[in-house]
Each structure stands twice: as structure tokens, then as C-alpha cells.
Amino acid sequence: MEDEVLHNTINEVLGGNIDKFESILLLYQKPIVLYCYHMLGSYPEAEDSAQEVFLKAYRSLSTYKPDVPLFTVILTILHFSIRFISDYFSQ
């Protein structure tokens, strides 16, 4: 998805068309789930973690700044989520 199309999609989501978030989800879902699986070692946990990451990304879209790639934002959310989950399971 090109940057301009992605920014338009984000604006549509922010404008109330939440169904458009699905195209963002589909764009990044596979790499996020695979990364979660690599870190957690369990596919069901990876899917749950990815779902949490996308939920957090959706909730934070209103603060999104177009000068930062959306994938970078999602990876940052993922990084902190995985650290929290890993710390929780290691206790």
C-alpha cells in the first residue's frame, strides 16, 4: 500500500469508517503474528498478542503522525507488548 493510500485510509478510519482499518490489519497482520510467534513460541499466544497490538494501534491512531511510518508505530507497540507479556510469563 502506498503512503498516500495508507494516509487516506487512516483518515477514513479517523473519520468514522472503522471498516477501513481491516485493510491496515491485512497489510501488517502476517509479519506481526510471525514476530509474536518467534518471540512467544506459541501460535495461539502470537495471535492473541497480535490482536492486542492492533487494538492498541487502532486506539492510538488519533495521535498518529504521518512523518513516522505506521509499521514503525505498530512495531513499537509490539515491542512493548511483547516485553510485558514475556515478563508476565517468566514470573
Structural domains of the chain sorted by starting position, each given as residue range(s) with its CATH number in brackets:
3-90 (1.10.1740.10)
> Could you tell me which residues come within 8 angstroms of residue 53 by beta carbon, excluding any fewer than 6 positions away?
32, 36, 74, 77, 78, 81
pLDDT one-digit tens code per residue, 13-60: 999 999 999 999 999 999 999 999 988 888 998 999 999 999 999 999
> Could you tell me which residues come within 8 angstroms of residue 74 by beta carbon, excluding any fewer than 6 positions away?
28, 32, 53, 54, 57
Under 8 Å between Cβ of 56 and 84: no
User: pTM of this prediction?
Assistant: 0.84
pLDDT one-digit tens code per residue, 55-85: 999 999 999 988 899 999 999 999 888 766 6
